[in-house]
Chains A and B, each alone.
Chain A
Amino acid sequence: MNLPHPTRRSVLAGGLALGGAACWASPMGWGVPQPERPRLVVLALEGGADGLSLAPPVGDGAYHGLRGKLAVRDPLRFDADFGLHPELKQLAGMAEAGEVRLAPAAASPSLSRSHFWEQDVLQSGLADPKAMQSGWLNRAVAHMGTEARVQAVTLDAAAMRATAGEVAFASPSAGLDANMAWRLKELYRNEPELLRLVEVSQAAQELASRGHAGAASGEPGEVVNARKAGRLLASPDGPSTVYLTLGGFDTHENQGADGGQLAGRLHLVDAVLGALKTESGPAWAQTAVIVFTEFGRTVRPNGDGGTDHGAAGTALLLGGAVKAGGLLGDWPTLARLHDGRDLRPGLDLRSLFKGVLHEHWGLPKRLLETEIFPDSASAPLLTGLARG
């Protein structure tokens, strides 16, 4: 069998020695807490979120004319040139506190307008996503040298490309209870690979069960998950990274503007980001959140009151660890469009990913250029992203 190997670091780390009976002698068995360590949340908006609604370019004279009925009428303030959708109230609060950076025209290097291809590119971090099986986030975590038993967490049911690789991403929403874990460890005594999965799963379960849920009844599952993620980030010995996904952004029909279908999804985005900040508490100061989507959407509405697959879209970098500053990348304006229909790219998303991993996580540039984003020479690393 060819299971992913535990990282060198996780094996060496205090908590996760394979067959490390000593670690299990203590009731919790956690590794050495690192309260100051940086945390990274990656939130993928799946389906191609409409950036021109998420952060409408109110300062661009062509916006209302091109967008017609889909133009956001009453946006919240971001800066002089960009607003935020009226449903993004908590995000607007964070922006006011200088915790939000906006990339108004972020794109993958390929601009294929294909969900499949673009997600593959952006999750693998490779212009040629077939070149490796793993995802950039997994490769980055593998080089973090964290002491935590649970290094990385995903709350997504499907095995995502972004989290694929040698580090086992735990899921606290599907952990093993102590009884079953104990029995499985007995069963897997000669099976180091399966044993490791049990240990990570059990550790995730224990981690997630700390503190009370604090979720309002009837809260959507996505927000409940975000609360869990926030609590994990708050744990001094919690994971370094959490990968989250939110679907439902492929708005080909009846997209709406200030209200309507897309507004509902953006309300959810706001609730998720708000829950992350609230639940992570003091750890928010060490947290950076990347929000991205596989592509933006056509600038003009289509025939169904929606928008079709486009080119550049909106990405966000936010959190207590983020340095206040201007736009990430350029705003190419709506005066001239890609193929006459789509927003032109003003930033290669890999530049943002690399910049965050370098400044926030301290991964060396050479490593980022060679192992984590090996074919990204055309996407120079962004600087000035993280608070010192």
Chain B
Amino acid sequence: MRVSTTVGAVIIVTVTMLLTAPGPQAQIRTMTLTATAPADLRSSDETVDRMARAGELQVRRTDVDTLLPTRRHERLQQFYKGIRVYGAGVSRQFDGNLTVSVFGTIYQGIDLNVAPQLTVGDATAIIARESGVTLGDNRAPTLLILPDEGDYRLVYHASVFTGDGAWEYFIDAGNGVIVRRLDAARRQAAAAVGTGTGVLGDQKKMSTTEVAGGFQAADALRPPVIRTYNMRGDIFRTMSIANGQLDLLTSDRASDGDNHWTDTAVVDAHAYAGYTYDFYFKRFGRRGLNNANSPILSLVHPASRSNVFNVTGSVLSLYYTNAFFSEVFGGMVYGDGLPPGVTVGGRSWDYVSGALDIVGHELTHAVISASSDLIYFGESGALNESFADMMGTAIEFFFQPAGNGPLRADYLCGEDVVSGGGLRSLANPLAYDDPDHYSRRYLGPDDNGGVHTNSGIGNQWYYLAIEGGTNRTSGQSVTGVGAANRDQIEKVAYRAFTQLLAPNANYAAARAATIQAARDLYGANSNAERAVTQSWNAVGVN
């Protein structure tokens, strides 16, 4: 593979060897690839090619670039003796045969017996014991190598939905110890052609399917399968479906007799899923969640509002005042909100699907999952959340007029269904107790390492890069590209999280990737590159 000689200035150092966990057991060595300059690209390219020949890197997918016709993007997953290494991988951008950029992380020094002591059945039993859920056959745990606590572990991995939440389990394949349990719900942290009335009372069209005796919320016009299911408040059935124990049935599909839909939660979940598909197609040329028109499934009424006083806090926060994307069954679940007059934390909640930005946010998690697959933990998790917030906001501005109040595009998240201004602000994260600067980042263990908190840093970067202004913490000013050019920053962000970043990217990598994306799309020294760079500086990511 030839290395590009057309790429301009050196960006940052490329190959770093990190010893991340000191001590006699420390064996983890990480090679971080962040190459955009010719010299760096050559060595990174050689490394990737050598590992690919050895089978240590395998091409997971190759995508054509929908924004730059001559470009394509290759995603490689690291394997060790045929077992996937969690979070390890490389994304490589080509212009013809020339490599333009390489980003990623490769784990080195793995020396592990990959023959598990436990069987899949053993792991399934452990999960059942811990969660109370017996996974279906198509959700069985799979082996992977987890870099953990300074060492590599052979673990079984599976995701489970329970009444307490959605969890990813990492179980040591040697001794059955649960090594890690992560929140598996890419959640909104605090949430046909017929016509329908939305949650906010607005009229919208529904792309549906006519069946005997009525209509179903199954979009027959857009390329992918887009279906909306009404779980009728049956939380147990919802969880069983999420866990693969039961399949969604045709009878689960939301239906209406005359195609004038009145179930507002169904209307918005279904219509907004279509809007989100449209946005990704029209703005980026992307064909759905996985760029190959994978199904978009939405579940509404996962729990009944009438039972809200009889559920645990976890159920409340997952199935009522939340929305989440589940990789397990590849769909969205939108909480039912709270009955009128009932508040949580002083806030009232309407049907969560009623907020376009929330729907866009959740579906963006699916896009991320199918592309960079940013690990939902730590900084990569914060980036995952932040990119989802950015796209949710971008979708609002794509379909709604700018302004304040219901059905207006703004830089708040979820404000249309959560009273008090919603869940987060991209313009002023501090107002929601989220950091607007890297120095203020949360370092604790809660919320998967503060994924919904530290997203504020990326969110502030996005806002400043578009609108410009001054960061409240650093006092640094940014000249944004302007609202009329917001598509530039949207495309930069999209390019970064779908094509350039690797699963365990951090904010530094996000800076490098977005600058590279701005150069790719708009040229070196363009207004977009300047805004992107200034904005990262302002939020303290250097």
A, B bound: no
B interface, CB within 8 angstroms of A:
none
Binding site for B on A (CB under 8 A): none
